[in-house]
A and B are shown apart, each in its own frame.
Chain A
Amino acid sequence: MSAEISTQSDPAVAVSRPPHPLAEFWYHFKQNKGALLGLVVILLIAVIAVLAGVLAPHDPDIQYRDAILSPPVWQEGGTWTYLLGTDDIGRDMLSRLMYGARLSMLIGLIVVTLSLAVGLGLGLLAGFFGGMADVLIMRAMDILLALPSLLLAVVVAAILGPGLTNAMLAVSVVVIPHYARLTRAAVMAEVNKDYVVASRVAGAGPLRLMLIVVLPNCLAPLIVQATLGFSTAILDAAALGFLGLGAQPPTPEWGTMLASSLQFLQRAPWVVTWPGVAILVTVLAFNLLGDGLRDALDPKLKR
């Protein structure tokens, strides 16, 4: 009798065991075709960025004086030597775009890391300690949020002086409040739950409580925001470059490339078209991925 019961319940146990969180995440994520597409495009751009030195057909800074404003290969007068054409001083567009991918990915990575680190820290402090620390930090974040983000970035870049590093700093400052708010909200939702109280009673110090007990359970919204943060960073840094406050020529940053060949817009539309397409595709890919992550990580929308 007892043997019978055990044989009956065995398969039931195997079926009802919850899947590994990662496997469950992947199951939900891969159903979203857009997010998969975004992931593939991002991986592709990342590979191009890393291997730009090998893949690029030309040096991005060499000026081919005999091929100034050469059109893309499929247009009248285009050659296979310069697949996407050349710019106003004869530099190969494709090579510059590839090196630009390296810059944009780097911008995204640095901005997200910097703003995430600061915002996470501030949010943890505010959510965990509450009281005066909470009021001071969140008021400061509200002030930053009251300014239109691009305006704030423009002002910070103008004051620090134009340049890629300062542009990255400016964009990072602007997005800190988003991470701080998200972290604070997530921490406040977690901090009074039983498992936190239990480890507090067991004698865990504030640092351990914050970083090891609470933080891992607050990560889902932050991962989504960080992914979307890549697109904001790339977009805003390109806008600063376009306004002359970001990377300076001859740096092959996409926004800067666009701005420096503006006067050739009518004669040679490709010098303006390609950098824009590159920005759009990259930003779109990160937004697709972010949306997919949100759907897969948000338990409210699951099932």
Chain B
Amino acid sequence: MLRFILTRVSLVIPTFLGITFLTFILIRLVPGDPIEVRVGERGIAPERLAAFRHELGLDQPLWQQFLDYVGHVLSGDFGLSLITHNPVLSEFVTLFPATLELALCAMLFATLIGLPAGILAAVKRGSLFDHGVMGASLTGYSMPIFWWGLLLILFFSVALGWTPVSGRLDLVYYVEPVTGFMLIDTLMAGDYDAFRSALSHLILPTIVLGTVPLAVVARMTRSAMLEVLGEDYIRTARAKGLADRRVIGMHALRNALIPVVTVIGLQVGTLLGGAILTETIFSWPGVGKWLIESINRRDYPALQGGVLLIATSVILVNLLVDVLYGVLNPRIRHAR
């Protein structure tokens, strides 16, 4: 078991180094000198320019710069934002819980609806319900989510006035951030009005961000169920007279869940990518919106650090899913 985990962890290290290299190179491809970006168009005396370059390590050879960069990253130093002059890591850590809360809610939404819908569609294969679920999930999968978000705002926020248009909490409430999760923080503060406000702010972004994963989960569950339902052991279970409910719930679902869990794990990347669009539409104060703002402000250290941190969290989640998978399923642990 330990060997399995260690192998998986060691496989991640080159990927992490690769991502670090990629972000390092990408920022150097930006047209224009980083010093000029910082100084502006007024110009600078040659001696000060040289001093600046030395200070930032830009007079070193490229490989030296890369090694320095990796060293800094490993010690948690992702540089300073050009605009706010705060450490990039601390900005990221402050904003990340907002993104995480949204992403978790979206995943929950997708799973709670997608799983039963997929199971039912498979059991009632060829029925109207099945066709409805398949059609809806294909539409959801094809949805431009930025447009979908606007439609929902137009309908639920503007026309009906049910939900707020943007942000995480009404301005009249203030809750001390403890966990960074607004739902938990408001509950811990015992402020139920604030909790309700936080909840109503979450609904639309959750639906928008959860739409594509919902479609994927429903489709995947259906096809996994269909495959399992055709197996011999299901026929055996039916033949020995077990009730439908038991055959589907116990024998089929358990085995169908394996590929579904993998797919849910793989959706983490999609969620963090989709967060860029969702957070921009709903002015959700998370890392996605922050990245787009960093791009618009040409804040390259923030962009570089943010991309690296997001990629690292995706790698870590995938690693976690991988290991969990091996723990749950011995066939994978012992394969090769």
Contact = CB atoms under 8 A, between A and B. Distances in A.
Given A149-B269, A283-B142, A287-B141, A154 B291 contact: yes
B120 interface: no
Contacts of A275: 147
B142 A276 contact: no
A143 B144 contact: no
A284 to B, nearest CB: 4
Contacts of A244: 296
A255 interface: yes
Interface string A235-250: 1001100111100000
A291 B276 contact: no
A272 B139 contact: no
A59 B30 CA distance: 37
Given A143-B22, A243-B277, A276-B151, A255 B144 contact: yes
Contacts of B151: 273, 276
Interface stretch (B12-20, B89-97, B111-119, B328-336): B12-20
Interface in A123-163: 139-140, 142-143, 146-151, 154-156, 158-161
A76 B272 CA distance: 42
A227 B273 CA distance: 22
Interface of B: 14-15, 18-19, 22, 26-27, 29-31, 138-139, 141-144, 146-148, 150-151, 153-154, 158, 269-270, 272-274, 276-277, 280, 291-292, 295-296, 303, 307, 310-311, 314-315, 318
* Of listed A142, A147, A266, A273, residue having the most chain B CB within 10 A: A147
Closest 4 CB pairs of A and B: A148-B273, A276-B147, A150-B273, A143-B18
A187 interface: no
B185 to A, nearest CB: 27
Contacts of A273: 151
A243 B303 contact: no
Contacts of B307: 147, 151, 155
A105 interface: no
A102 B13 CA distance: 44
Nearest to A275: B147
A243 B293 CA distance: 10
Chain B interface, DSSP helix/strand/loop, else mixed:
helix
Contacts of A242: 144, 146, 277
A148 B314 contact: yes
A162 to B, nearest CB: 9
A296 interface: no
Interface in A227-277: 231, 235, 238-239, 242-245, 255, 258, 262, 265-266, 269, 272-273, 275-276
B142 A151 contact: no
Contacts of B14: 139
Contacts of B291: 151, 154
A11 to B, nearest CB: 35
A283 B150 contact: no
B210 to A, nearest CB: 16
A111 interface: no
B142 A284 contact: yes
A288 interface: yes
25 contacts: A139-B18, A143-B22, A146-B19, A146-B269, A147-B22, A148-B270, A150-B273, A151-B276, A151-B311, A154-B291, A154-B295, A158-B295, A160-B29, A243-B280, A258-B150, A265-B154, A272-B147, A276-B147, A279-B144, A279-B147, A280-B139, A280-B142, A280-B144, A283-B142, A291-B138
Given A147-B307, A231-B142, A243-B277, 20 more contacts: A34-B138, A142-B18, A143-B19, A146-B19, A147-B269, A150-B273, A150-B274, A150-B277, A151-B276, A151-B311, A158-B303, A159-B29, A235-B144, A239-B146, A242-B146, A258-B150, A272-B154, A276-B144, A280-B144, A280-B147
Contacts of B270: 148-149
A258 B146 CA distance: 9
Given A154-B292, A243-B280, A238 B144 contact: yes
Nearest to A244: B296
A175 to B, nearest CB: 13
A160 B26 CA distance: 9
A156 B26 contact: yes
A151 B154 contact: no
A140 B295 contact: no
Given A239-B146, A275-B147, A147 B19 contact: yes
A234 to B, nearest CB: 9
A143 B273 contact: no
Contact of B303 (A34, A140, A143, A155): A155
Given A143-B18, A276-B147, A243 B276 contact: yes
